[in-house]
Structure 1
Amino acid sequence: MKRTSLIIVSVLVLLSIALTACQPASTKVRVATDATFPPFETVDEATKELTGFDVELMNALAAKAGIEIEWVNIGFDPMLAGLSQCQYDVAIAAITITEDRKKDMLFSEPYINAGQIISVQKSNTEITGPESLAGKKVGAQLGTTGAIEAQKIEGVELKTYDSYDLAFLDLANGQIDAVIADYPTALGFIGQNSEKLTTVGEVFTDESYGIAVCNKNADLLKKINDGLAAIKADGTVQKLEMKWLAGQ
């Protein structure tokens, strides 16, 4: 009788282990960002936590898709380089979808439209658009489409920075003549120094931001696209645009 009970208990234990092993584990991914792009990603000075449009969007998307996130804060250029080697699973940092980047990484569906615009000091009346940048010193963050577009303009003296906050600081201090940056990013920095800085001309490129994914993980890309579609449908993305982008 005791032996029979022991066998039954052993079988139950083995069944329990097998059932546990069959349960789907939560998906945990390393999400890289460059928290120097307000209002998209920044570090809250009070809490020291990551915050911003992209951060809240990714957190909301992950909740819908059943993805557990581990955030990594790193510079923009090494972030893209690391993602191309799959050191990170995902990157979100106001990343413009380009054909060159598609060679090294996968992209989600676009989540916001953004193009390049020129920012100057309010006292500057010489610069009115890309055609008036010849002979001017123009700042942009290293590895961004702002730097790429600046290089296309003949006669521009490009100065690259590790982060856009440094570029806009130099602009405010008169160290450079202009900054080329994504329109929403430019608005965020100008909102912090609206007495000195402004944009000129129109957005002169047609670009979209996407969430970049390791090119070996198409399954994760599908989950991200499904989560993104869900938060677009339930109005979350629109609420985040109103919270972070409207009135910047």
Structure 2
Amino acid sequence: MMARSVRLFIITLLAAFVPILPSAGAAETPITLHVATRTVAPLVQKDNGRLTGFSIDLWNAVADRLGVRSDFAEMPDIDSLLASVHEGKADVGVAAISITADRDKTFDFSQPMLGAGLQILVRGKSDQGAPNPLQGFMRLLLSPVILVWLGIAAVLIVVPAHIIWFLERRAPGGIIPERGYFPGIFHALWWAAGTLATQADQMPRQWLARVVAVLWMFTGVIFVAYYTAQLTAALTVEQIQGDINGPDDLPGKRVATTLGSTAATFLKGQHARVQEFAAIDAAYRALLDGTADAVVFDAPVILYFAEHEGKGRVQTAGAVFRKEDYGIVFAEGSPLRKKVDEALLELRENGTYAQIYQKWFGAN
């Protein structure tokens, strides 16, 4: 802790004189900051053994503004990265670090450096294998669409059945042979169901019952046509989307993410069967191997994988949710934060931030 205090004191003095460093002469040796990071493309990744990525490029630009050097230390997961900063082993943490209220109680954060949020990743249709016809039929049979329409059909059968029973039970030669409610109502229910589904196999004898029967045949035609259209639409949507289409579909599913991430905390609250991995690459492998149903993680990371290594094999499901911001993390009370914030503002104003963003995420 003593060494950390001395280093931070030197940093504070150095940062105060950053504007005059260029004229101090080449003999001056800039201070070195210990930077904790972790690999999570495209924020941090390795290119021929050299760290690169959006967060690394942005931090290097900040370090140039401050006139300091960086000594990067790779951490296996976000918990190790934060612990390194908290224990003073690192002066700053740079990667894909979400700013949360809980973390803000223990750490200081820079101003947001990138808007993010959570995204769901599922296997692509071509990577899911041949569908099981029986499983698909049972899922459709028990789907909310079918249950709603069965309820509507039940109402449309019971109501006219009672009308026909009441009008036909005393008609000579009517379609209701028994005058009592039982079993006469069963004859009426059979007639109403048959008329709704196809057409009446026999017509009532009583004149008012015949009017009801004609109206009911038209109702049956409309019902069947509308039901067929709705069922076709539901099947089309299911073929396009799949089982997981948003956060509401995650409970009970096997969902992979990284250890200690905000995504893991969210998924536990959703009662998903969470699989936590040290690295996001392991979560991707679990998804592609079929041992996980989905991956939930930071949207920029998910989208990058879907457009590069996972292209054609995975696809996103639903929109970005639980929006968060990335920031640079410091130990609480660090004098570095103010200078880093000033440098980030300067990089936005002079266009450097836009150039770095466009390099890794495109014009949009």
Say whether the fold is shared (TM-score over 0.5).
Answer: yes
Give the one of 29, 34, 37 matched to 2:38.
34
The answer to whether 1:136 aligns with 2:224 is: no
**Paired residue type of 1:64:** R
Picking from 308, 311, 324, the partner of 1:194 is: 311
Match of 1:102 in 2: 104
Distance 1:90 1:199 in 2: 32
Structure 2 CA distance, aligned partners of 1:211 and 1:74?
15
Q: TM-score, length-normalised on structure 1?
A: 0.85
1:43 aligns with 2:42: no
Alignment partners' CA distance in 1, 2:114 and 2:280 = 19
Cα offset, 1:122, TM superposition: 1.6
Give the conservation status (yes or no) of the 8 Å contact 1:86–1:215.
Answer: no
Matching residue within 325, 331, 343 for 1:214: 331
Correspondence for 1:175: 291
Compute the displacement of 1:205 (Å). 0.8
By how many angstroms is 1:83 displaced? Answer: 1.1
Counterpart of 1:86 in structure 2 is: 88
> Residues 67, 223 of structure 1: CA spacing in aligned structure 2 closer, same or farther, 3 A cutoff?
farther
Measured after TM superposition, the shift of residue 143 of structure 1 is 1.1
Letter in 2 for 1:108: S
In 2, are the aligned partners of 1:111 and 1:208 still within 8 Å (CA)? yes
Distance 2:88 2:102 in 1: 17
1:239 aligns with 2:240: no
Change (3 A) 1:189 1:247: farther
AA aligned to 2:322 is T
| Stretches of structure 1 lacking an aligned partner (at least 5 in a row) | 1-19
**CA positional deviation for 1:216:** 3.8
Output the amino acid matched with 1:48. G
116-125 vs 132-141, greater mean Cα deviation: 116-125
Structure having the higher helix fraction is 2
Contact 2:36 2:84 in 1 (8 A): no
Q: Using the alignment, how far apart are the partners of 2:81 and 2:263 within structure 1?
A: 17
**Fraction of identical pairs, as percent:** 32
Cα deviation, residue 88, structure 1: 0.7
- Paired with 1:104 and 1:75, the residues of 2 have a C-alpha distance of 21
- CA, structure 1 residues 165+247, in 2 after alignment: closer, same or farther (shift >3 Å)? farther
Deviations 1:200-247 (A, max 9, x none): 111111210000012242x21111111111111111111111111228
Query: Secondary structure of the equivalent of 1:134?
Result: coil
**Are the aligned partners of 1:139 and 1:159 in contact in 2 as well (CA < 8 Å)?**
yes
Higher percent of residues as strand: 1
1:88-147: per-residue Cα shift (whole Å, max 9, x none)?
Answer: 100011100011111221100001110001100122610000111122100010011111
- Counterpart secondary structure, 2:97: coil
RMSD: 1.9
Larger Rg, first or second structure (1 or 2):
2
Residue of 315, 331, 342 corresponding to 1:226: 342
